[in-house]
Amino acid sequence: MKKEMQALVERGEMLPLMEEFYTIQGEGFYKGTAAYFIRVGGCDVGCHWCDVKESWNAELHPPTEITAIVENASKYSDTIVITGGEPLTWDMGPITRQLKNKGLRIHIETSGAYPLTGEWDWICLSPKKMKLPTKEVYEKAHELKVIVYNKDDLRFAEEQAAQVSENCILYLQPEWSKRDKVIPLIVEYVMNNPKWKVSLQTHKYLNIP
């Protein structure tokens, strides 16, 4: 990447854009809501079950001017979801300011592994054992979504729930490839511990992105 371009990426004025699409939010509190997704490349958290491994290497995704991303997004929806990869790899300040200036509602899906930048209407925190969230993301998260791959993730979920604010909504979501095995565990757990709710990847059942 050219030096000038790299400087713009470092300032958050360009972002490695992997894909952008208008769809239905499939997971968590806003499931069922039409939203425009901006998927930013770059993530070094390394979840072995990650379903967007193509996002990891930021070099594979073209640095794109945020003004162009914002212009596109505003044509489709009032609700914008910035996801990844790990969006907080980058400075989210500039893009969220521009989206806010357009009067849009902005959500982030993050592992919380890096310092929180940007202005958000909704923070979905999906913590990962390999790189735990920063204190600020725990405090500001609106929903905590723990992916359950095996039984130990229920223990991890409780540890994570102890770190978020009182009003944070708690979700357990089956990892897609293990869903048949872990859904019964989650169902039983939520019935015994009703502060949790079940989240499903409904977009995968609907066969939409």
Residues, the chain, total? 209
CB of 2 to ligand SF4, least distance (A): 26
Token pair 């371009």 is at which residue?
5
CA 154 to chain centre: 20
Phi, psi of 150 (to 5 degrees): -150, 180
Give the list of residues 6+ apart from residue 137 with CB closer than 8 angstroms, or none.
88, 110, 112, 116, 123, 125
Task: Tell me the pairing of strands 63-65 and 34-40.
Answer: unpaired
Position among 9, 17, 35, 43 found at the interface with ligand SF4 (CB under 6 A) = 43
Binding mask 44-73 for ligand SF4 (x = CB under 6 A): -xxx--x-x--x------------------
CB of 55 to ligand SF4, least distance (A): 6
CA distance 77 to 22: 8
User: Which 113-172 residues touch ligand SF4, going by CB under 6 A?
Assistant: 128
CB closer to ligand SF4 out of 52 and 185: 52
Position among 12, 18, 58, 86 found at the interface with ligand SF4 (CB under 6 A) = 86
CB closer to ligand SF4 out of 50 and 190: 50
CA distance 96 to 110: 15
CA distance 129 to 156: 8
CB of 192 to ligand SF4, least distance (A): 27
CA distance 34 to 183: 26
CB of 88 to ligand SF4, least distance (A): 10
CB of 38 to ligand SF4, least distance (A): 14
Position among 25, 96, 111, 173 found at the interface with ligand SF4 (CB under 6 A) = 111
Name the site residues for ligand SF4 (rule: CB under 6 A): 43, 45-47, 50, 52, 55, 84-86, 111, 128
